[in-house]
Structure 1
Amino acid sequence: MNLLSPDASRTNSIRSHPTGSDYDALTPGLPLSVSEKYSLPPSPASWGMPLLINDQEPDDYLHNPDPRRDRISDRGGHIFTGRGFANLGCLLILVVGFLMLFAGYPILSFATRHSQDNRGGFNLGGINGTGQVPDIPGNWGLIDKDTPQEAYTRKSYINDEDYVLVFSDEFNQDGRTFYPGDDPYWEAVDLHYWGTNDLEWYDLGQATTSGGSLRLRLDQVDNAADNHNLNYRSGMIQTWNKFCFTGGIIEASVQLPGSNLVPGLWPAIWTMGNLGRAGYGASLEGTWPFSYDSCDVGTLPNQTYPGTQEPIWATSHGDPYNNDMLSYQPGQRLSACTCPGESHPGPMRSDGSYVGRSAPEIDIFEATVVKDVKGQVSLSSQWAPYNAEYEWQNTTGNFEIYDSSHVHLNTYVGGVYQQTTSCLADTNQQCYELTGGCFAAYAFEYKPGFDNAYITWVNDDKPAWTIYAGGLATDSRSEISARPIPQEPMYIIANLGFSHNFGDIDFDVLQLPATMSVDYIRVYQPKNAINYGCDPSDFPTMTYIETYKEAYTNPNITTWEQYGQLWPKNSKSAEGCS
């Protein structure tokens, strides 16, 4: 192919690919095929296409800039066109939006914020984690919206100190249930309370509200096979791990079940430290009813030194029904003697030792009846380790009874599983389900710790008796140290049961069903000592409970050994910390 000239190339190309007439001349008489008729040479140049840089096309002027020609047109016109306004408007909206998001909204929020009324609270009392009553849709706040305003504050039962309301439940909404997840603070249990040999099964459906009160109902069932082979069922609710408090006043307005003359029922409202869950045996072993923060023999099994029968007061003069042994406790599982590195909820002191932890118990009341005579309540607290002969220091100055005509020390002082400090008080005999039907206020007020600590119990809205910290002082006979008035975060329990452990049951006269009714439960704390919550920094529980969750959620695990967990090493044990 000749590349010297486009024309020559084109001519040579055409000649090398004959057209129809050329073909006729070369091959006379033969027709052209379709492919021959439309055949084109491979080079577009042979088709007459302008491929060289000097070839001009009609629209070349559009692509060739000319500064002198374009100067006028390029600088002509203005931006104030529809398109210009759209571009600028879009940018403006974006800028304003970002400014509003990152500057305007915070400024407006600060300038227009509303400071919530703490409704009579003081500092952090009013009361949630921010020191305010949460305004939650419905009635789910710590303080029940139905609580009357005049009940938001009160005076101490024994002095003029001001207390503020931190928790209340008026139970005014009928039809409430307490199945798991139904309520933010209360939960019914589904178990047999075997620890006290109860005759009933605690059933989730036996705790309800009606007529403006909580109702805990004890029934006899038609078929024991449908009720875990027990003939009775009743209700228990708890605030375990949902609401706890440390120090203050807890008050309940209650109509006791049954009659004031017929014994057998065992209604109670009480509190326990959050590290033990009532009805869940594994969680209670070695924690209930301890209130102890010393490292000595009081933390050891049976309150005796390893391999000995000492101190002698721990192996004699004890429980006459159990070989005169003082204690069958397995020892304090979470004691101040716990070896470093062992499982313990803490906290740890600066010297590397742990704070002794436990699940103490303080009862608002446990009700009983002296047959054909009168109804009474036991106003008590339970303790471990124990004094020799279960004799706490009940001398003048260590306790006080305010009305000796209706209140007296309980002759029952304990056994191998607990020591108790208790008084029996005559109730308002009209405030029973079958007698009068009124409600009476029961309460206790307490200050935790050692110095100036105390518990005061209240019967029918009047102080009944007080135990001071001195009543729980060091005991040289059993060789234990002083026990503090409970410092653990305490949760609330309300239940109606019955058991031969608590007294005689007159089945011939006892009327079932029987119902304990609770008009309200309220918790108050001093203005300068607000302390509620189940996981306080000085007595934490959350991490430990989560670590051993099954012990707190499976009532069929009755011991720590059955749970498959190791007992923390104790520096006073035979093995020590080795």
Structure 2
Amino acid sequence: MAALFALAAALLLASQPIAALTPPIPCSEALALAAPGADQSWVDAATPPDACTAEVCTGPFEECDVDAPPTSALQLVFSDEFEEEGQGLAAGEGNPRWTAGNMWYSGTEDMEVYLPEQVTTQNGSLSLAIERTSPGSVWALSQQGDGTVWNVTDKGLKSGYVDSWNKACFTGGYVEARVQLPGEPDVPGFWPALWLMGNLGRAGHLQSTGGMWPYSYDECGGDEVGREFGAAGPIPQRFSACPDPPAGPDRARWGLHAGQGRGAPEIDLLEVKTGVSVNLPNRKTPRLPFTLLPLHVAPMQPAGTFWTVTNESGTFPGPGQHLPKRGHPEWLWTDLEFWKGPYATNEQNRPGDKMRDVAGAYAQLEPSFWSSYHTFGLHWAPGQHLRWFIDGNFVYEINSEALKEYSNGTYTVPPRLIPVEPMYLIMNLALSRSFGPVKLDDLTFPSQFTIDYVRVYQDPANVSVSCSPPDFPTEQYIACNRDLYLLTQEEQALVNATCVNTTSCRQEAHVRYIGGDLTAPDGNLLTAQVPSARDCCLACQQLAACGAYTFDQRLCYFKGATNWTREGSKGPTDGPLSGVVYDAGAAQPRRLTAPPPPPAPAPSPVPARPTSSSPPPAPLPAPAPSSGIMQRRSLLGSSSGGGALHSIRLAAAVAALALLLLL
């Protein structure tokens, strides 16, 4: 009898489908099968097998806007389920995916500072927590567009920011996040966001983003629009598609392609505004609370040209933009971005500001988004379209037709691009009156913005998970211009590459190097009066005996390679910046045995060391804060690309210093 039962069981098992007997394989193995050679390490082992692929309609809008659209199976190429408790996320802790920010975001005049301790992984999710502090009890650094670094201590609020800059970037695909929003839907103030930026700009570091953000442009010319706004207007594109002038940057030494326009565009997957709507049009339109779904782009199109079509019935999407027509839940109302830019004639036909255009929509959210998890998705087809989803429902599309050439008879702007740069992920929780009203006394502290997972899917035949892909390299430019991106010694670990073809500096803010000063034959310290820490770095590079420097109050103090010590200087506002020199290709700082630099120009007088009868130069005036604007990433920046010394007087001073050292 036992034998009969065994035979029956065997026959029953044999009749089952093979799939029922085969355990599902991990998503990393599924990626290896679908895309041999793809890097499996970006796929979290905790991602469930039923999430290894995503069915997405990737074709044109007309093909996808049907009841049963054709779909493509996209493969999971990056994920984080945040199941590992207590991940170390600060800059010096070596997390392979994420870095928690330690900064004040000055571009939007935030009311909080970001601290790594406010970003934690717990209970299977990532938590960004905002809470009150005693004024002056916490501090954070803030890089300005001219390279000065402020020390901000008096905000009384601390919150969380985390990104994957220069670690995990991707180009194209479908990205999805499952999140629960902070606070209450009807109390204005909290500003949670999840967004993407091109790797050539580090968000919140304004010297890195000046002339990079939010350019998505590969044409020569057409960027004159907005010049009438002066300093409040757009910063010229740092690397345009025009031929570089003879004295311009040498792109080859940074691994950049000649004649290629580069930038750091921005796409917001979600950017939530809470409160109660007032003064909206008298028609059925989304009400607060809602999320914004914008693409930020530069250069701006000319005055008198619009994203939209306006007639007596209202404002509608123009060519290349689409809102949902079918199948969305009754509560999920969407409409065009509601923001009147300087060239607009109404509040929807031309959103933007004096630096950029913003094409986008906003979608109403229901209260459950604040009490449970919901998904936000974006399908990004580089050069073709961006398509947003909420809980799987299509809510907005912009495609290349919307970014076509525009002309007003005076200015012509060639086509901008649906982003093609490698982009990284950013998640943050802010407070800023530049974004909307803040009822601080009505908000609940502490509050958390929680993220259950982040996943990225791509066509298995076109996997691109890299911050420096061959067609759009970033590695050498960042490695050779670290001072634009990194503010502390701990942050140096965020850039693994060595600068191969040029001398560079590794700099830290609010640190002074004591001792080790280079002196002239008369015993005075060797110093130079220079406009910025970047110029101090470049001057030190050209002195063979200079291995380090301190820049403080417009004076550059040259140091030897040894015999100095570090001293922290956490004073208010801007403080000293100090750095060490690395010769081209070197993995260690310059030593006294470093080869001499090329012959220098003829010498000129060297600024003397300050004495009691010769007071030091006045401190640099603090840069004026940016004007209040609606969108988060308004930037004050510099177009400096880190090339040759831009001051003839400075070059002559460096030559004089070199001559003195030889006497």
Q: TM-score range by the shorter chain?
A: 0.5 to 0.7
Residue pair 2:161, 2:426 contacting (<8 A) in 1 also: yes
Identify the residue that residue 415 of structure 1 maps to in structure 2: 353
- Secondary structure of the equivalent of 1:295? coil
Is residue 131 from structure 1 mapped to residue 58 from structure 2 by the alignment? Answer: no
CA distance in 2: counterparts of 1:205 and 1:519, whole angstroms = 19
- The ranges of structure 1 where at least 4 consecutive aligned residues each deviate by more than 6 angstroms after the TM superposition are none
Identify the residue that residue 119 of structure 1 maps to in structure 2: 29
Please report how far the alpha carbon of residue 330 of structure 1 lies from its aligned counterpart in structure 2 after TM superposition. 1.9
Identify the residue that residue 126 of structure 2 maps to in structure 1: 214
- Secondary structure of the equivalent of 2:440? coil
Residue pair 1:269, 1:363 contacting (<8 A) in 2 also: yes
Is residue 443 from structure 1 mapped to residue 377 from structure 2 by the alignment? Answer: yes
Residue pair 2:297, 2:357 contacting (<8 A) in 1 also: yes
Letter of the 1:168 partner, please give it: S
For normalisation by structure 1, the TM-score amounts to 0.67
CA distance in 2: counterparts of 1:416 and 1:425, whole angstroms = 25
Q: Structure 1 pair 175/283, CA: closer, same or farther in 2 (3 Å)?
A: same
- Secondary structure of the equivalent of 2:175? strand
CA distance in 2: counterparts of 1:343 and 1:409, whole angstroms = 42
Letter of the 1:377 partner, please give it: T
Identify the residue that residue 109 of structure 1 maps to in structure 2: none
Residue pair 1:274, 1:534 contacting (<8 A) in 2 also: yes
Q: Structure 1 pair 294/215, CA: closer, same or farther in 2 (3 Å)?
A: same
For normalisation by structure 2, the TM-score amounts to 0.59
CA distance in 1: counterparts of 2:32 and 2:417, whole angstroms = 27
Q: 1:172 aligns with which of 83, 92, 97?
A: 83
Deviation digits for residues 276-328 of structure 1 (CA, Å, limit 9, x no counterpart): 00011110000001101000031x5x655xxxxxxxxxx4xxxxxx6xx7971
Identify the residue that residue 233 of structure 1 maps to in structure 2: 158
Is residue 151 from structure 1 mapped to residue 58 from structure 2 by the alignment? Answer: no
Identify the residue that residue 22 of structure 2 maps to in structure 1: none
Q: 1:472 aligns with which of 395, 403, 409?
A: 403
**Matches for 1:19-34 after TM superposition, within 5 Å:** none
Is residue 495 from structure 1 mapped to residue 417 from structure 2 by the alignment? Answer: no
Structure 1 vs Structure 2 CA RMSD: 2.8
Is residue 243 from structure 1 mapped to residue 157 from structure 2 by the alignment? Answer: no
Identify the residue that residue 179 of structure 2 maps to in structure 1: 254
Please report how far the alpha carbon of residue 209 of structure 1 lies from its aligned counterpart in structure 2 after TM superposition. 1.1
Q: Structure 1 pair 355/429, CA: closer, same or farther in 2 (3 Å)?
A: same
Q: Which runs of 5+ in 1 are unaligned?
A: 1-114, 134-140, 305-314, 316-321, 571-578
Deviation digits for residues 95-133 of structure 1 (CA, Å, limit 9, x no counterpart): xxxxxxxxxxxxxxxxxxxx999533377737xxx3252
Q: Structure 1 pair 569/147, CA: closer, same or farther in 2 (3 Å)?
A: closer
Is residue 399 from structure 1 mapped to residue 321 from structure 2 by the alignment? Answer: yes
Identity of aligned residues (%): 31
Please report how far the alpha carbon of residue 273 of structure 1 lies from its aligned counterpart in structure 2 after TM superposition. 0.3
Letter of the 1:191 partner, please give it: M
**Matches for 1:380-399 after TM superposition, within 5 Å:** 380-389=294-303, 392-394=306-308, 396-399=318-321
Q: Structure 1 pair 116/517, CA: closer, same or farther in 2 (3 Å)?
A: closer
Please report how far the alpha carbon of residue 268 of structure 1 lies from its aligned counterpart in structure 2 after TM superposition. 0.3
Q: Structure 1 pair 118/184, CA: closer, same or farther in 2 (3 Å)?
A: closer
Please report how far the alpha carbon of residue 458 of structure 1 lies from its aligned counterpart in structure 2 after TM superposition. 1.2
Deviation digits for residues 70-99 of structure 1 (CA, Å, limit 9, x no counterpart): xxxxxxxxxxxxxxxxxxxxxxxxxxxxxx
**Matches for 1:59-208 after TM superposition, within 5 Å:** 119-121=29-31, 125=35, 130-131=37-38, 133=40, 141-157=41-57, 158=64, 159-180=70-91, 181-208=93-120
Residue pair 2:27, 2:48 contacting (<8 A) in 1 also: no
Letter of the 1:386 partner, please give it: M
CA distance in 2: counterparts of 1:463 and 1:297, whole angstroms = 34
CA distance in 1: counterparts of 2:465 and 2:88, whole angstroms = 25
Rg (Cα) greater in structure: 1
**Matches for 1:358-377 after TM superposition, within 5 Å:** 358-371=263-276, 374-377=288-291
Q: Structure 1 pair 131/387, CA: closer, same or farther in 2 (3 Å)?
A: same
Residue pair 2:198, 2:423 contacting (<8 A) in 1 also: yes
Please report how far the alpha carbon of residue 177 of structure 1 lies from its aligned counterpart in structure 2 after TM superposition. 3.0
Residue pair 1:244, 1:534 contacting (<8 A) in 2 also: yes
CA distance in 2: counterparts of 1:500 and 1:117, whole angstroms = 43
Q: Structure 1 pair 463/200, CA: closer, same or farther in 2 (3 Å)?
A: same
Residue pair 1:400, 1:466 contacting (<8 A) in 2 also: yes
Q: Structure 1 pair 391/143, CA: closer, same or farther in 2 (3 Å)?
A: farther
Deviation digits for residues 447-482 of structure 1 (CA, Å, limit 9, x no counterpart): 112xxx000011233111100101011111241110
CA distance in 1: counterparts of 2:158 and 2:641, whole angstroms = 37
CA distance in 1: counterparts of 2:89 and 2:418, whole angstroms = 31
